[in-house]
Structure 1
Amino acid sequence: MNVAIYCRLSEEDRNKANPLDDSVSIQNQKTMLIQYASAQRWDIYHIYSDDDYTGADRNRPAFQALLADAQDGKFQIVLCKSQSRFTRELELVERYIHGLFPVLGIRFIGLVDNADTANKGNKKSRQINGLVNEWYLEDMSDNIRSVLTNRRQQGHHIGAFALYGYQKDPDQKGHLIIDPPAAAVVQEVFTLYSQGYGKSAIARILNDRNIPNPTEYKRQQHLRYTPPKSQTATLWKYPAISSMLVNAMYIGHMVQGRYGSVSYKTKENRPRPKKDWIVVENTHAPIIQPPLWDSVQNLIAQKTKPFVTGHIGLFAHKAQCATCGYTLRSSKCRGKHYLSCPTHHVKESGCIGAFIAVDTLEAMVLAQLNYLAEAYLDQTQLEQGIHMVSGLADRKQQLIKEKTLLEKKQDSHYLQTLYADKVDGKLSQEDFQQLRTMFNQEKESRIQTIATYQAKLEALQAQLDAGQNRRALVEQYLHIDKLTREMVEVLIDHITVGRRKQGEKYPPVEIHWNF
């Protein structure tokens, strides 16, 4: 019998000689399990080890590798120190220990807590252990959250990184000290804005002087950082300047708790309302002094007064630069509103940019909409559309029949029967492995085919809905002379705007409709 040994430790072990070495606890787990497997005369296929991973982490690399090898039938036993080393989630206990493993003919053993799927009598105890472990995770999460909240309320900095402009104090945990090179950049940003420079202009000044943005600065200082997704992600941009200018951390106040986790089972964080932020004043040395801070905040308040024309927001999140793909940003000059590429002005060698007046884009959209509406409502084309919808409905019914037949074949009882025959000696291990491999290949093929059919059905349904609703939609917006935000949401998926060529009156525009 081939056995897979799985070990896990959830917190760092201070006895590590080297951070890359296995912790002592992991080594002890391996020794115990190897000795047990040898006593049972089992062949050890592989030792899977996850060090510094919690039992609620579903993306543990060794854990995922074990599951993949289990699917390939590379071992017949999974051996752990305890069920909680494998997982602390009751859902995963049911999915893998009581679900997948029995189907694959794999026995699970937790040595210390006597969890053994070969003993059907202790299934309830395994489930109780899983429930207790689940409670443990939830209680631990609540306790950790309570401790962190208390430390934040006391003004301690909690986080993996210090804010740009600061660094963690090596002599006092939870305290921030000024990082002089980055702090000088922060002071310059505030000073430039107070002197009348715009946020994009400030970004361009910093980029033209090759001053690294916060992400690039962390990389150069050999700090942990998230790798950028594009080349322009290393540049200063409008949002970075904008968020810096309103961050009260720069006047010595500790501002934390702006994001919170959705659940202890996921690492996803979501923004919290400002009233729930934890703010403690005067916890660290300020980079920006109160007079400069107040001056900048007054300027920001004056420039963010809402426009009353109704144009702002008409194409929000709908218009994109045809060159770099960034969403166009709105601006106002001499009473007129424009859309422009936000990356064009942040560096001399940046995107060639897109630029168009909002009223010009609105006129283009209205002209094309009215043309399409009149063309579609032509009686001949309408009859062709009705005929097309009828043919789509027939195709949909045929796909449903084919998909239903395939789903009926998705039955795991065949594999369970094969396993029973192997246990009874009717099938050799080699024949069982071969038949199981064939079954899994056919099953995977059916799953992919079913997924393909489902995608086709969804696409057909979308076409049917569009065909049935298109006339009413088009008639509703026929001969209009003014766009509203609601119309843009209903009618337009997105718009790409290019750079106007010399000698041409308007820039190239592509409108991608929802109908």
Structure 2
Amino acid sequence: MERRKYYAAIYVRISKDDGDKQESDSIINQKALIRNFLEGKQEIEVVSEWADDGYSGVNFSRPAFQQMMEQVKEGIVDCIVVKDLSRLGRNYIETGRLLEQIFPSFGVRFIAVNDGYDSVEQNIEYNQIMIPFKNLINDSYCRDISIKIRSHLEVKRKSGQCISSFAPYGYKKAPENKNQLVKDPYPAQIVKEIFNYKLNGMNNGAIADKLNQLGVLSPLEYKKWCGSRFTSGFSVYAKSRWSAVEIGRILRDSVYVGELAQGKVTTPNYKVKKRINKKKEDWIRVKNVHEAIVSEESFEIVQKLMLADTRTSPSSKTVYLFSGLLYCGDCKQNMIRKTVSSRGRQYFYYVCSKNKKGGGCFSHRIAEKKLEHSILAVMNLQLKLFLEAEKLTQVQMIVESSRKAITALKIKEKEKQEDLQKWMRLQSGIYEDYVQKILTQEEYVRMKQEYERRTKEAESEIIKAEEEIIQIREKEMKREEWLTEVRTQKKFTTLYRNAITFLIQNIYVYNNSCITVEFRLRDNFNNKA
């Protein structure tokens, strides 16, 4: 009796996500093994070969697999050959459905070479027991790998390593360490300029327009220019341009003060790849892990200005001089700027926004000229106090002491990082020793518990050291900023937006045009005037 002729498709797959061994499971090796097996199968003729390189076996939305299934539906292929069941898939339910329902319904012969499975050979016991069991093992293996990968990435995030595929604008990956960010000189300078423009009173739209006029490459265009394959769903034009939204993203991103905020999205499990945004409080934040482009002080000021009422002047692209800083002394609501015309001249003054809306409080009306004169006098008085040699020397001593403390903490942190890596390495190694029966179960459990304890201790010490460094650096950076600013000034002859936002926290207006000015660094000096 003449044997039936089968027209086969060879299917191979490999994925790092599944923990596949690159050498034994390589595409070339899989194909060679299958071809060698088919040499003695005269009834099977290979009509196509399909490879999904870099696709997980958890789901079946793989391009090559889908194209192969189209050939099955068209009747071109009636036999599928794989190296083993895990190459077909690692999803227990879906793989079982293919083997028990879909392939039989299309009359497809399925062969898994290394598993010794051939659907035309009727081995009921093997088919009903061993094949579902192997599919379950493949599924469990994928789940375990997923848990290990998630755990590994979590450790990397918590230790301040950048695990994103692309560096944020202003940075690049360090050549010797892809998990470390270093400054990229050209875009880093642009980021600095963006923050300076904001501090000088420009709104986001005006900053974007200025950068476009200057011909500065947008983040997306810069990545393309550098040869990156980065793509974005935000691009609307053929050539991406700066926009107010892009400027807002940069101004809000804490990466520019040396902080990494990661773990912003997640997936429900290893089978469902739908991305879910996590709450901000659940993000993993690690400070001072790379060189900052802007200071903490400037970043905090910008965040405050963006939250405050900083509307642009009707005839200008910059905000008013006191926007986001001027408040009613009683109700703490914003003071709003009003214009009065009289005899062909315009006069400007500020009033309480709550009173203006009829919500009570007092008007606390104050003329803009009088306010400017008062603020200028107060700023010069504060500047004089800071220029006193005794105070400058005192601050310098504090800064030097802070630097020494940070150096000591960094040495301690590095030592604990090395300890952490060592204990994690040992913890991984004892499992292999246990599998190979070098260790007994009792020895394995005892050593595992000890290594886990040492690992937790090291992690706790690292976190403690990082928190102490952050606290010291925050205070140090604020003092350094002040020293730099006051040394560049002898006396303010006029008011400008950058100086006001840098030196002043809040301005409160009371009755009879009385004002209170709160300067920054209130913890170190008496800064109320």
CA deviations over 1:489-509 (Å, ceiling 9, x no partner): xxxxxxxxxxxxxxxxxxxxx
Could you tell me how far apart the structure 2 residues matched to 1:59 and 1:143 are? 23
Equivalent position of 2:448 in the other structure = none
Q: How does 1:250-399 map onto structure 2 within 5 Å?
A: 250-303=256-309
**AA of the residue aligned to 2:45:** D
Equivalent position of 1:423 in the other structure = none
**CA distance 1:24–1:223, shift in 2 (3 Å):** same
**AA of the residue aligned to 2:28:** Q
1:44 to partner: Cα distance:
0.9
1:145 to partner: Cα distance:
0.5
Q: Does 1:213 align with 2:215?
A: no
1:58 to partner: Cα distance:
2.5
Secondary structure (helix, strand or coil) at the match of 1:191 reads helix
Q: Does 1:225 align with 2:226?
A: no
- Check the 8 A contact 2:14/2:25 in 1, yes or no: no
1:265 to partner: Cα distance:
1.9
Could you tell me how far apart the structure 2 residues matched to 1:193 and 1:297 are? 10
Q: Does 1:241 align with 2:247?
A: yes
CA deviations over 1:312-367 (Å, ceiling 9, x no partner): xxxxxxxxxxxxxxxxxxxxx999xxxxxxxxxxxxxxxxxxxxxxxxxxxxxxxx
Could you tell me how far apart the structure 1 residues matched to 2:113 and 2:269 are? 31
1:123 to partner: Cα distance:
2.9
Equivalent position of 1:39 in the other structure = 40
Q: Does 1:25 align with 2:26?
A: yes
Pairs aligned (count): 303
1:57 to partner: Cα distance:
4.4
**CA distance 1:139–1:233, shift in 2 (3 Å):** farther
**AA of the residue aligned to 1:51:** D
Secondary structure (helix, strand or coil) at the match of 2:179 reads coil
Q: Does 1:170 align with 2:171?
A: no
Equivalent position of 1:52 in the other structure = 54
Q: CA RMSD in A?
A: 2.7
- Check the 8 A contact 1:7/1:50 in 2, yes or no: yes
1:71 to partner: Cα distance:
0.7
Could you tell me how far apart the structure 2 residues matched to 1:154 and 1:59 are? 34
Q: How does 1:129-148 map onto structure 2 within 5 Å?
A: 129-148=134-153
- Check the 8 A contact 2:194/2:247 in 1, yes or no: yes
1:117 to partner: Cα distance:
2.4
Could you tell me how far apart the structure 1 residues matched to 2:238 and 2:308 are? 30
1:262 to partner: Cα distance:
3.0
How much identity, in percent, do the aligned residues show? 32
Could you tell me how far apart the structure 1 residues matched to 2:21 and 2:145 are? 24
**CA distance 1:225–1:250, shift in 2 (3 Å):** same
1:210 to partner: Cα distance:
2.3
- Check the 8 A contact 2:59/2:91 in 1, yes or no: no
Q: How does 1:446-485 map onto structure 2 within 5 Å?
A: none
CA deviations over 1:467-505 (Å, ceiling 9, x no partner): xxxxxxxxxxxxxxxxxxxxxxxxxxxxxxxxxxxxxxx
**AA of the residue aligned to 1:183:** A
**CA distance 1:173–1:227, shift in 2 (3 Å):** closer
Could you tell me how far apart the structure 2 residues matched to 1:221 and 1:131 are? 46
1:50 to partner: Cα distance:
1.9
- Structure 1: unaligned runs, 5 residues or longer: 17-21, 306-332, 336-515
CA deviations over 1:127-176 (Å, ceiling 9, x no partner): 22222222222211111011100111011111101111100001124111
CA deviations over 1:343-393 (Å, ceiling 9, x no partner): xxxxxxxxxxxxxxxxxxxxxxxxxxxxxxxxxxxxxxxxxxxxxxxxxxx
**CA distance 1:57–1:210, shift in 2 (3 Å):** farther
Could you tell me how far apart the structure 2 residues matched to 1:23 and 1:226 are? 33
Could you tell me how far apart the structure 2 residues matched to 1:227 and 1:273 are? 23
Choose which of 123, 133, 157 in structure 1 pairs with 2:127.
123
1:233 to partner: Cα distance:
7.0
**CA distance 1:219–1:15, shift in 2 (3 Å):** farther
**AA of the residue aligned to 1:29:** Q
**CA distance 1:15–1:127, shift in 2 (3 Å):** closer
- Check the 8 A contact 1:6/1:47 in 2, yes or no: yes
Choose which of 76, 101, 104 in structure 2 pairs with 1:102.
104
Could you tell me how far apart the structure 2 residues matched to 1:128 and 1:15 are? 22
Q: Does 1:10 align with 2:15?
A: yes
**CA distance 1:79–1:171, shift in 2 (3 Å):** same
Equivalent position of 1:66 in the other structure = 68
Structure 1 stretches of 4+ with a deviation exceeding 4 A read: 12-16
User: Whose Rg is larger?
Assistant: 2
- Check the 8 A contact 1:5/1:80 in 2, yes or no: yes
Equivalent position of 1:402 in the other structure = none
Choose which of 152, 167, 182 in structure 1 pairs with 2:157.
152
Could you tell me how far apart the structure 1 residues matched to 2:265 and 2:95 are? 31
- Check the 8 A contact 1:33/1:80 in 2, yes or no: yes
- Check the 8 A contact 1:5/1:78 in 2, yes or no: yes
1:95 to partner: Cα distance:
3.2
Could you tell me how far apart the structure 1 residues matched to 2:309 and 2:107 are? 68
**AA of the residue aligned to 2:127:** K
Choose which of 187, 190, 194 in structure 1 pairs with 2:192.
187
- Check the 8 A contact 1:3/1:37 in 2, yes or no: no
**CA distance 1:227–1:174, shift in 2 (3 Å):** closer
Equivalent position of 1:397 in the other structure = none
